[in-house]
A and B are shown apart, each in its own frame.
Chain A
Amino acid sequence: MVEHRPLSQLAAHLILIAGVALVLFPVYIAIVASTQAPGEFLRGTLPLVPGGHALENYRAMWESGLSRAGAPPVGQMLFNSLVMALAITVGKLVISLLSAFAIVYFRFPFRLFFFWLIFVTLMLPVEVRIIPTFQVVADLGMLNSFAGLSIPLIASATATFLFRQFFMTVPEELLEAARVDGAGPLRFFKDILLPLSVTNIAALFVILFIYGWNQYLWPLLITTDSDYYTVVMGIQRMTTAADGDPQWHLVMAAVVMAALPPVLVILFMQRLFVKGLTETEK
């Protein structure tokens, strides 16, 4: 069992602190950098203490963006990212819940075949099929639209597979009891299966939201209109300013703002996790 000797506790804490410091240091640098004056980076040294220009940097990025680098205001890009990430997350959850429900609870011809078909798509991430997907989306006229940003990324084998595994652990008697209680398949899904999956849904929501938020290659490919730029790809645009050095203090302000929503999602969803973890039953 766990012993509480002072020396081992000290060592444990030191290791943990070192680990946390390693992870947090770049974040700290980003935050510090975003508070500097425009000329600060040209000296060639990285400042380690916060400067006094935080407010103006953030306001500049939020309201006007880096128009010279072709980047719209960060507020606009954050909104685009949010719409895309939410559409992907909700779409993935809905589709995978329904398809897992179909695969586990219904007997239809080629059931196993369809399951494997879904499973095989696990091996085909967006990057592998990106050219044909682009062709399809372009032919459908979905370039520069939220639909084009989100729909091609919605199908999810991972989530389907996870929900399938979870549904298979739900005792069959629950379905039978619901049948005796007069609940049809959809009512069983809505009243019993969904509430039981809340923890899983919350966990997947976080993972999928971050997946959607961090999409880079796909938005870069299909958006040419800056109205549809997402923040992750927008940052890349800012760093490749055509003339002169990147405005690091402004880029870092955008980076910090771009990193916030996923953190908020995790903080918010964490409650559901913990609740789910402490109230599990088997």
Chain B
Amino acid sequence: MMASIKLEGLEKTYPGGVQAVKGVDLEVADGEFVVLVGPSGCGKSTLLRMVAGLETISAGALYIGKRRVNELEPAQRDIAMVFQNYALYPHMTVFDNLAYGLKNRGFKRDEIRRRVEEAARMLEIEAFLPRKPRQLSGGQRQRVAMGRALVREPAVFLFDEPLSNLDAKLRVQMRVEIKRLQRRLKTTSLYVTHDQLEAMTLGDRLVVLNGGRIEQVGTPMEIYARPASLFVATFIGSPAMNLLPLGALLSGPGAASHGALLGDLPPGTGILGIRPDALRLEAPHGPHLTLSATLELFEAAGAESHLHVRLAGSGQPLVIRTAGQPAVAEGQRLHFHITRDALHPFHRETGRRLDDTLKTKEQAA
């Protein structure tokens, strides 16, 4: 049994008058893995908890499958949730933790045993079934928390920052496992995280939230390649996208040669976004911009390096990502090259992305 989720103008206003979620419309298809991502306080967790039924819905409608579930208790919504701190019952064994939800639903003992053992096998926690949660490591507890969601075979999985209590290495490992598991079970999933890398790698689609509203919805690559606003541009991608005021390019050294290339930017453009990896040390073929800058700081990160530079003239700071370890020295004057299609134009006041005619033409071709 699987189901889609539909959010229609969902709003959450707390008794104090604080509006945490300000009208969210979203459709999650059957079997889709959608990640809600945003900075802390953007309403992503509130939104997830509204879907779970742990927070009441102030306005709007919520559908899971064909049912409107606004007023239903969490247990009646056919969902399962994985909590950030796992929320395992400390006095129960792992087996009982997994079985509790099934027991409450009146499953037969054989069926409970079968399902728990199956989930335990899938998550490789069979050996821990007789243990108590406190005897497990963080990663093992995480698996148990997943197992508790799994045994229920729900229509929807909800994940509330499930990996944020794990160390970096384990996080990557569990991330891969969650994705693999979801691929296999094809259960509709909503996943909340503040980690953009987690969001990019896990989601079929991302929902970027800011201030209780949706900034952009799209596949990870769509969002990376065409961020809809300055907020999304700086939030997704690491190191963050560089933002340059147009003025900084139209003045200073080489301004004259820039003019030709920048002339066809959409009207109203005030800020240009440039991904750190779009700035190249070698000149590409075809038309491009060349910027000169002073290297302030060099960070070697193994397979790649980050160059922190300041533009000559305007003194704007930029971060550049290059593969390997270029032979450069701090304090050195460097030249960087950008092709025209690597520029993301944003409106000078609204911060929205301006329709980049050049690019759409290229894509159409």
Q: Hey, which bits of chain A sit against chain B, CB under 8 A?
A: 171, 173-174, 176-183, 187, 191-192, 195-196, 279, 281
Please tell me the number of chain B residues within 8 Å of chain A, measured between CB atoms: 24
Interface residues of B in 56-90 (CB under 8 A from A): 73-75, 79-81, 83-85, 87-90
Q: Is the interface of B mostly helix, strand, loop or mixed?
A: loop
Cβ of B73: which chain A residues have Cβ within 8 Å of it?
179
Cβ of B87: which chain A residues have Cβ within 8 Å of it?
171, 173-174, 176-177
- 29 residue pairs of the A-B complex, CB under 8 angstroms, read A173-B84, A173-B85, A174-B87, A174-B89, A176-B54, A176-B83, A176-B87, A177-B81, A177-B87, A178-B100, A179-B53, A179-B54, A179-B75, A180-B53, A180-B54, A180-B79, A180-B81, A181-B101, A181-B104, A182-B75, A182-B105, A183-B75, A183-B100, A192-B89, A195-B91, A195-B92, A196-B90, A196-B91, A281-B90
Q: Which of A171, A187, A196 is within 8 Å of B104, CB to CB? A: A187
Look across to chain A and name the residue whose beta carbon is closest to the beta carbon of B80.
A180
Contact flag A179-B74 (CB < 8 Å), given A171-B85, A187-B104, A191-B100: yes
B359 at the interface (CB under 8 A from A): no
Q: Hey, which bits of chain B sit against chain A, CB under 8 A?
A: 52-54, 73-75, 79-81, 83-85, 87-92, 100-101, 104-105, 134, 148
Q: A192 CA to B54 CA in the complex, in Å?
A: 18
Cβ of A195: which chain B residues have Cβ within 8 Å of it?
91-92
Whether the pair A180, B74 counts as a contact (CB closer than 8 A) is yes
Cβ of A178: which chain B residues have Cβ within 8 Å of it?
89, 100
Whether the pair B104, A182 counts as a contact (CB closer than 8 A) is yes
For the complex with contacts A173-B83, A192-B89, 15 further pairs of A-B residues with Cβ separation under 8 Å are A173-B84, A176-B81, A177-B81, A177-B87, A177-B88, A177-B148, A178-B100, A180-B53, A181-B148, A191-B100, A195-B91, A195-B92, A196-B91, A279-B134, A281-B134
Cβ of B104: which chain A residues have Cβ within 8 Å of it?
181-183, 187
Whether the pair B75, A177 counts as a contact (CB closer than 8 A) is no
How near does chain A come to B275, taking the closest CB pair, in angstroms? 38
Task: Report, nearest first, the 5 A-B pairs whose CB atoms are least far apart.
Answer: A173-B87, A182-B75, A181-B101, A182-B104, A177-B87
Q: A171 CA to B148 CA in the complex, in Å?
A: 18
Cβ of B100: which chain A residues have Cβ within 8 Å of it?
178, 181, 183, 191
How near does chain B come to A67, taking the closest CB pair, in angstroms? 52
Q: A187 CA to B134 CA in the complex, in Å?
A: 23
Whether the pair A180, B52 counts as a contact (CB closer than 8 A) is yes
Whether the pair A181, B75 counts as a contact (CB closer than 8 A) is yes
Q: A95 CA to B131 CA in the complex, in Å?
A: 33
Q: A180 CA to B85 CA in the complex, in Å?
A: 15
How near does chain B come to A97, taking the closest CB pair, in angstroms? 16
